Amino acid sequence: MSIRFCTAFLMIWLNLASLVVAEEKKLVFSTIEGSPLAEIAGAVMGKAYDQLGIPIEIYFTSGNRALVVSSGGHVDGELVRIGVVKERFPALQQVPVPNLEAKGFVYVRRGDKERLSDSNLAKLRIGYLEGVVQAQKFTIGFENVWQAQSVDELFQLLSSGKLDAVVSDRFDGPLTIAKLGLADIVPLGAPFQVEPMFHYIHEKNSHLVPKVAKVLMQMRNSGEIDAITEAEMAGMIAEYRNVAAK
């Protein structure tokens, strides 16, 4: 075997090896700890990145810290957030195809439902999960707002009467109610907002935005995102009910 042939073979092998390493580089995305919405988004985005041959890892932390580390480039982006994040954190590049929809609900104790309405919420004790921008916007101007570190804490405070209402969404609410076995908590009414949710990639990896957008569009059009969402919800509700029943 000639030296020239050996050199050429080695160069080809090194190039192929570098491509494999590049394709298999793991990306880390921050998100809100203890949020079922984030868990469902993790399943959706895991599937999306699988189709691109890119493994991902989810870094769970508080809502505010998640945005600090993602916008600062300490991780590779944000798993799932509302659209306004792109305006507040320009270093985060929005993938312009929604990966989920968050429907905002106000939850109250069943016995209080008749006396409460959207018009008198601003004067009551109301809570939401720290770092949830949708809830922050909804409660602007409210007199007595509590930010909790976990969804469990919020609904326990509501059930015990220490809060009058909780702002949450279509994922966190039903799942936490099932998990804690709370039969006395119900939505106050229809959702106050339907918010498309988006995946964000830090600008250092902005070349991935169109690729991820294309995959998400295919998954949305085929119904795959809805199927993943329903399957994840059903599985978590069943698991939480089993735990609560023990």
Question: How crowded is the C-beta side of 63, counted as CA atoms within 13 Å?
Answer: 20
User: What does the alpha-carbon distance between residue 224 and residue 243 come to, in Å, rounded to a whole number?
Assistant: 29
Whether 19 has a pLDDT exceeding 70, the answer reads no
Strand 56-61 versus strand 77-82 pairing type: unpaired
145 pLDDT tier (thresholds 50, 70, 90)? very high
Encoding tokens for residue 107? 């939850």
Whether 8 has a pLDDT exceeding 50, the answer reads no
pLDDT, average across residues 197-220: 97
Secondary structure class of 41 (helix, strand, coil): helix
Secondary structure class of 204 (helix, strand, coil): helix
**pLDDT at residue 51, as a whole number:** 97
On whether the CB atoms of residues 243 and 179 are closer than 8 A, the answer is yes
**pLDDT at residue 28, as a whole number:** 98
pLDDT higher at 153 or 237: 153
Note the pTM of the prediction, 2 decimals: 0.70
